[in-house]
Chains A and B, each alone.
Chain A
Amino acid sequence: MRKRRLVANLTFKGADLLARFEGPVETIAASVPRGLIDEVRARVGKREFSRFVAEALAAELISRNRLEYVSELESIHGPVDQDLVAQFESAFSR
């Protein structure tokens, strides 16, 4: 039987990357190199492994969505102003 439980409504610090995704938690099977699993377990421990994976999936999904969205805006409005990008990057890195 598939294991399900409700996603906790977590606070922002560290965990709310997951809070934006609604619905129950599902257990999945994925093929991952053992060396990678070992390194992640060594870093976060057994209990936090699922959260680490879920946050990594969320971050990658949002990152890809963002790049696709930028490409879409560029197709509508023209190439992005790289000087402006650099100015924003400088501001965000403070």
Chain B
Amino acid sequence: MNIVLDTGAVIASESNDRAFTALLLAAQKQRSRILLPATVVAESWRGPGTSPLVGRLLKTVDAFPHLDVSSAKRTGDLLAKSQTVSIVDGNVVEVALTHIPATIVTSDPNDIRHLLQSAGVSFDIFGGGQKLVDVLIVRI
């Protein structure tokens, strides 16, 4: 399983979110790979003012999928289908779709759900509404 973090998940790492700690430990036990799209890093990183916890979170990430021309086009296609404009949300979903089986960790499940539905992908929601961090499990 590949776990894709969005900006809300990164923010959760610096707030009092015990669900996020549990998620990291579960990922470790299951040998899941944690992916943090570079676009999410751009949205989360604010130079010297960034929380040290975020800096340390980056050291626990397996890979930072970057936005090259191909992934940018796939992201743009998703935004067109969903009629939305958030490049970061679109890229998070694009990264998940190119690394199936994948789980998206997000604090904004409605936008992610809309993108996945627009992409015609079937998915399950795990933990929706119970915690600060909701988890969407993408199944294809």
Chain A residues with a Cβ under 8 A of chain B: 12, 16-17, 19-20, 62-63, 65-70, 72-74, 76-78, 80-82, 84-89, 91-94
Contacts and interface: CB of A to CB of B under 8 A. Distances in A.
B129 interface: no
Given A16-B62, A84-B23, 11 more contacts: A12-B65, A17-B62, A65-B59, A70-B24, A73-B13, A74-B21, A85-B26, A87-B127, A91-B103, A91-B127, A92-B30
B59 A85 contact: no
A62 B34 CA distance: 10
21 contacts: A12-B63, A12-B99, A16-B63, A62-B59, A66-B24, A66-B28, A69-B57, A70-B21, A70-B25, A73-B13, A73-B20, A78-B18, A80-B21, A81-B19, A84-B18, A85-B25, A89-B29, A92-B27, A92-B30, A93-B1, A94-B137
Contacts, number: 103
Per DSSP, are chain B's interface residues mostly helix, strand or loop, or mixed? mixed
Interface residues of B, number: 41
Per DSSP, are chain A's interface residues mostly helix, strand or loop, or mixed? helix
